[in-house]
Amino acid sequence: MKHILYIIGFLLSLTVFSQQEKVLTISDTTLVNRWAYLESNWSYKKGDNINWSDPKFDDSSWTKISSKNLNKPNNKIIGGDNEIVWFRKLIKTDSTFNNPIVLNVYQAGASEIYLDGKLIRTLGKVSSNPEEIETIFSWKIVFHLPLEKNKAHLLAVRFVNSQRKYPKYFMNDGHIYIQATSIHNILTTDPRLVTPIKETRNYYNNLYIVLGIVLFMFVLFLFLYIFFKREKINGYFALTSLLYSCFLGAILLEYKTNFYEFKYDFIIGILNVLYPLAALYCIYKIFNKRIGYFYWGITAIGILLILSGFLVSSVYTGHIFGVIILVEFLRISSLSYKSDKIGALIFLLTGVLNLIFWIIATLHQLGYFDLPQLIYYVPFAYILLPLSIAIYLGYFFGNRSQSLRLNLERVQKLSKEKESILSEQKDTLEQQVKERTSELNQSLDDLKATQSQLIQSEKMASLGELTAGIAHEIQNPLNFVNNFSEVSNELIDEMNEELDKGDLEEVKAISLDIKQNLEKINHHGKRADNIVKGMLQHSRSSSGTKEPTDINTLADEYLRLAYHGLRAKDKSFNAELITNFDESIGKVNIVPQDMGRVILNLITNAFYAVNEKKQRDVSFKPIVTVSTKKSDEYITISVSDNGDGIPEKVKEKIFQPFFTTKPTGQGTGLGLSMSYDIVTKGHDGKLKVETTKNKGTAFFIELPN
């Protein structure tokens, strides 16, 4: 509401310097393209008499004044509260007068306008009873003044200076200004003519411009906030701009109505506190200041000022609050000079400019300067604070964008460098991976070779164990082959002798023996052949092809080989061998070399186990049993002994490669692991073990039937 005060201030100052005129004579050209104040040659008298409107009444005894504000000539009030004053003035028209005249009354109070004793307009209600007075505070009430050509007219004004209910203390100096122009002027669209008070017109025009700028800032910062909510300052500033827009909007709305009303004054008073508080909040946030006692104190003052709107117009209080905000604004800016020089300088500059403006304006108001056009720039003074925030935010975000851009460039550069390093590392890694892969492949090949060697070693080791057995097994058939052939030879000699004797019965008997011997030779020759073949088969790499095999024979052969092998190495060793073969098994589809190896391994282990026990206990009778059994699901080959059994801890590991309980050099630790693989992987079977401490161990090979 400062605006009204300033308007009034300016108007008041104008009255001091206004030109004195004689009786106004109006011709057709007098009021072309202008509004003229009816300010000269007025007479006034306090009191109330309806006859004072009569043109014939002699007012020569009345006081003469010349003033734009009729109630305050020479800066002194004529009519005090509820005091009725009459003003009279003579107006002449010449013979050229042709254009109708209109008047504009700008008043605070109530008035009646008379022309030649006739009431032509009532503005409010004039009454000697204060209760009945109805005040109008208006700056634009335009009406026709019906003047006649080439005639003297008397214009009389009955005016009462009265106050409204709220605010209680405002515009105690009731005022009334009367302006005139030709009707032609106000019918044009020229804003200079439509609005009678020039200063007001320019002021409001500038207010529109400022409102436009503020609304633009509001929209801009609102969307900046909506699309990037992390920057809360944009939101705060959008809110500040909105409150400021409302403030300006309320002033313009009041202006449009042409009347001063309390409701507008009060709303403007509220907004006049809220928008500077919001602006101050923005400054606090910009400089990262804590919202502390100062801010809350200022807020409390603001609330008090809003409430005081019932007593004093916001025209005054808004002024006070504006000064407080400005001081705090300068204080915060100064405090932040070290941390943010540019920001502080922007705000200090704005604050100082604002301060200079208001000092000049106040000095002007007080009459030290005559700067009638200063009021035009008041709206721009209002906008300085929000504008400076907008400028700062623009600078801040611009600066940050720049630094972000630089950072981005740096990051991009770094990324490229990293990319290149990564690419190099990738190449190096790939190379290393290739090398390692190659090394690993080499290692794998070596391992495979070693594995084959180990397998071969295991074979050879078991073959070694068999050698003695094989020797024995071959010697036996050879013994028969040699001796039966020798006997047969002798028998043929005998047969010849008997032939010579002619004893054919004996010859027949001998020939039957020879035949039987030949069968024996054949049988034992085959037996030796089988042993040699078996040995070769055992040492050869497995063909991996399954073939129908007599499991019972296979088991028996290996049992004997193993037994004799062990006996050959250890003369003291002996064991009872029990075979329990299920003759219904027939031939089973297995890889004979592999399965033979498994059976041999289990039997060798069984012998080893019983032999160990025998070493400790002389009375112990070792028994090794080999059984086969056919069921619906499986063909089971079991090898059991009555040795010490396998401890639980050892049992978990027996199928692991290289695990052995035998002394170093005696076992490869591959026997059972190979056996496990042969049974499970090679034959889809199962290799199970059951063991009881001190009672023995049984291995079961279960092959799918």
- 79 or 622: CB nearest other proteins: 622
- 297 or 464: CB nearest other proteins: 464
CA atoms within 13 A on the CB side of 152: 6
555 contacts other proteins (rule: CB under 8 A): no
Q: Of 77, 145, 139, nearest to 107 (Cα)?
A: 139
Beta bridge partners of 158: 86, 112
Q: Report helix, strand or coil for 614.
A: helix
- 476 or 661: CB nearest other proteins: 476
Q: Report helix, strand or coil for 372.
A: helix
User: How do beta strands 634-641 and 587-590 pair?
Assistant: unpaired
Task: Choose which of 476, 530, 537, 549 interacts with other proteins (CB under 8 A).
Answer: 476
475 contacts other proteins (rule: CB under 8 A): yes
* Cα–Cα distance measured from residue 531 to residue 473, given in angstroms and rounded to the nearest whole number: 7
Given the rule CB under 8 A, which of 323-331, 464-472, 602-610, 671-679 is the region that contacts other proteins? 464-472
Task: Choose which of 574, 582, 661, 689 interacts with other proteins (CB under 8 A).
Answer: 574
- 527 or 686: CB nearest other proteins: 527
Task: Choose which of 198, 285, 567, 653 interacts with other proteins (CB under 8 A).
Answer: 567
* Cα–Cα distance measured from residue 258 to residue 279, given in angstroms and rounded to the nearest whole number: 30
Given the rule CB under 8 A, which of 48-56, 123-131, 283-291, 465-473 is the region that contacts other proteins? 465-473
Q: Which residues contact 611 (CB under 8 A, 6 or more apart)?
A: 566, 570, 573, 575, 622
Beta bridge partners of 675: none
511 contacts other proteins (rule: CB under 8 A): no
471 contacts other proteins (rule: CB under 8 A): yes
Alpha-helical runs (H) found in 143-261: 183-186, 191-194, 198-227, 232-257
Task: Choose which of 491, 591, 595, 670 interacts with other proteins (CB under 8 A).
Answer: 491
Given the rule CB under 8 A, which of 163-171, 426-434, 476-484, 646-654 is the region that contacts other proteins? 476-484
* Length in residues, the chain: 705
486 contacts other proteins (rule: CB under 8 A): yes
505 contacts other proteins (rule: CB under 8 A): no
Burial label for 396, CB within 10 Å (0-12, 13-18, 19+), is middle
Q: What share of the chain is helix, strand, coil (3-state, %, to 5)?
A: 60, 20, 25
Both tokens assigned to 557: 């052969």
585 contacts other proteins (rule: CB under 8 A): no
Q: Report helix, strand or coil for 256.
A: helix
484 contacts other proteins (rule: CB under 8 A): yes
Judge whether 175 and 5 are in contact, CB under 8 Å.
no
- 201 or 567: CB nearest other proteins: 567
CA distances from 84 to 87, 176, 181, 371 (A): 10, 13, 27, 34
Q: Which of residues 350-369 bind other proteins (CB under 8 A)?
A: none
Please give the backbone phi and psi of residue 603, each rounded to the nearest 5 degrees, phi first: -65, -45
Given the rule CB under 8 A, which of 126-134, 374-382, 479-487, 528-536 is the region that contacts other proteins? 479-487
CB of 535 to other proteins, least distance (A): 16
DSSP per-residue letters across 404-419: HHHHHHHHHHHHHHHH
* Cα–Cα distance measured from residue 666 to residue 678, given in angstroms and rounded to the nearest whole number: 22
614 contacts other proteins (rule: CB under 8 A): no
Q: Which of residues 172-211 bind other proteins (CB under 8 A)?
A: none
Task: Choose which of 230, 571, 616, 649 interacts with other proteins (CB under 8 A).
Answer: 571
CB of 631 to other proteins, least distance (A): 28
Task: Choose which of 482, 543, 580, 631 interacts with other proteins (CB under 8 A).
Answer: 482
Q: Report helix, strand or coil for 547.
A: strand
- 4 or 470: CB nearest other proteins: 470
Number of residues in contact with other proteins under rule CB under 8 A: 28
- 325 or 577: CB nearest other proteins: 577
Contact residues toward other proteins (CB under 8 A) are: 468, 471-472, 475-476, 478-480, 482-484, 486-487, 491, 513, 516-517, 520, 524, 563-564, 567-568, 571, 574-577
